[in-house]
C-alpha cells in the first residue's frame, strides 16, 4: 500500500465538532495489508501450535467449529486474540487511517467504488436494511446469514497497483489498532490512538471498520466507524493484519497464507 500524497486524504465524513468530522490525514510510510481477513485455517494452525487461544467456540455461529468453514474469516475473536495473532506474524492490526486509506484510496465511497451494493450485483456480503435486533446473527444477509468464504465477492475487491484486497466492506467487521474516541479537527500525520485521553492512559473500547454480513450498506462505506469493548466476540467480527516498516525487524513465527499488497 503506498503512502498518501504529501497533501494527504480526507478522512471521515462528519461536520466540524462531530466525532467523525472530516479532517486531513497524511500517511508517510507505505505498508502491506493482508489481502483477506484471517481465515479459520490460518488461526487454527496457531491454536494447534499452542501459540493462540481458541476463539469462542460454543456459539452456533462460530466459524472455528462449523464444518467446511476453513476458508471463511475467523469470528468470535477478541481484540487481544486478534492483536496477539498479528504480533506472532511480525505484523499488527491496521490503524483506522490505514484501513480507510486502503479501502477508499481517498476518493471512493465504498472499497470497490461508488456503486451501492445489492444482493444482485454481488459486491459484498451484507443485509439490506440491516439485521433485526431480535436476531442479529440469524438467517439474514444476501447469502442467508453468517460469513462468506474469503474472496467470495471478487467484484467488491479494492484494487491497488501492487495487488487486490478483498472484503474491506462486508463479510465481517474488523478490529483496528485504534482506541475509539472522536477524531481531531486538525491535520494528522500517521495517526494512532493508543490510549483514551480520559481513561487513565489505557483503552477498553476499540474502533471497528468494514461492516459485516448482518449490517446495511451504510456500514460498508469506507468512513463508517464502529466500536466494541476489547473483550467483545460476536459472529460478525473478525480481523486482518498489516505489516508496517517498523515491524520488519520482528521475526514472524507463523506462515503468511494471504498475499499482501504494498
Average pLDDT rounded to a whole number, residues 198-227: 92
The gap from C-alpha 27 to its chain's centroid, in whole angstroms, comes to: 18
Tell me the pLDDT of the chain averaged across its residues: 91
Q: Cα-Cα-Cα-Cα dihedral of 111, 126, 240, 148, to 10°?
A: -120
Whether residue 93 is predicted with pLDDT greater than 90 in this model: the reply is yes
Query: What is the gyration radius of the CA atoms in the chain, in angstroms?
Result: 17
pLDDT digits (tens, 9 = 90+) for 181-191: 999 999 999 99
Whether residue 13 is predicted with pLDDT greater than 70 in this model: the reply is yes
Percent of the chain at pLDDT above 90?
81
Whether residue 151 is predicted with pLDDT greater than 70 in this model: the reply is yes
Whether residue 16 is predicted with pLDDT greater than 70 in this model: the reply is yes
What residues does each domain of the chain span?
1-240
Helix (H) or strand (E) holding 173: strand 173-179
pLDDT digits (tens, 9 = 90+) for 152-168: 999 999 999 999 999 99
What are 69's three cell numbers?
Answer: 468453514
Q: 2 forms bridges with which residues in the sheet?
A: none
**pLDDT confidence of residue 55:** 97
Whether residue 256 is predicted with pLDDT greater than 90 in this model: the reply is no
19-23, 148-152, 252-256, range with the lowest pLDDT: 252-256
Average pLDDT rounded to a whole number, residues 224-238: 96
- CATH code of the region 1-240: 3.90.1580.10
**pLDDT confidence of residue 199:** 73
**pLDDT confidence of residue 45:** 98
The gap from C-alpha 103 to its chain's centroid, in whole angstroms, comes to: 10
C-alpha atoms less than 13 angstroms from C-alpha of 119 in its C-beta half-sphere: 14
**pLDDT confidence of residue 201:** 73
pLDDT digits (tens, 9 = 90+) for 97-110: 999 999 999 999 99
d(CA 92, CA 86): 5
Whether residue 90 is predicted with pLDDT greater than 50 in this model: the reply is yes
Whether residue 226 is predicted with pLDDT greater than 90 in this model: the reply is yes
Whether residue 247 is predicted with pLDDT greater than 90 in this model: the reply is no
Amino acid at each position: 500500500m503506498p503512502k498518501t500524497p504529501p497533501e494527504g486524504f480526507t478522512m471521515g465524513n462528519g461536520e466540524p465538532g462531530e466525532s467523525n468530522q472530516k479532517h486531513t490525514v497524511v500517511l508517510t510510510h507505505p505498508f502491506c495489508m493482508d489481502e483477506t481477513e484471517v481465515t479459520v485455517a490460518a488461526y487454527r494452525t496457531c491454536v494447534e501450535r499452542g501459540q493462540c487461544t481458541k476463539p469462542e467456540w460454543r456459539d452456533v455461529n462460530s466459524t472455528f467449529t462449523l464444518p467446511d468453514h476453513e476458508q471463511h474469516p475467523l469470528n468470535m475473536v477478541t481484540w487481544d486474540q486478534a492483536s496477539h495473532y498479528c504480533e506472532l506474524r511480525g505484523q499488527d492490526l491496521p490503524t483506522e487511517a490505514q484501513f480507510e486509506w486502503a479501502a477508499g484510496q481517498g476518493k471512493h465511497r465504498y472499497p470497490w467504488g461508488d456503486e451501492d451494493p445489492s444482493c444482485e450485483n454481488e459486491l459484498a456480503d451484507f443485509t439490506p436494511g440491516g439485521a433485526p435486533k431480535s436476531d442479529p446473527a440469524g438467517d439474514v444477509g444476501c447469502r442467508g446469514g453468517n460469513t462468506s468464504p474469503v474472496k467470495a465477492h471478487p467484484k467488491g475487491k479494492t484494487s491497488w497497483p501492487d495487488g487486490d484486497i478483498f472484503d474491506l466492506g462486508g463479510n465481517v467487521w474488523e478490529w483496528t489498532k485504534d482506541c475509539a474516541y472522536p477524531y481531531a479537527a486538525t491535520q494528522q500525520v500517521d495517526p494512532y490512538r493508543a490510549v483514551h485521553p480520559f481513561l487513565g492512559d489505557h483503552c477498553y473500547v476499540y474502533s471497528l471498520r468494514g461492516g459485516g454480513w448482518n449490517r446495511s450498506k451504510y456500514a460498508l462505506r469506507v468512513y463508517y466507524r464502529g466500536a466494541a469493548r476489547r473483550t467483545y466476540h460476536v459472529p460478525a467480527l473478525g480481523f486482518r493484519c498489516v505489516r508496517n516498516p517498523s515491524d520488519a525487524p520482528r521475526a514472524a513465527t507463523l506462515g503468511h497464507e494471504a498475499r499482501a499488497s504494498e
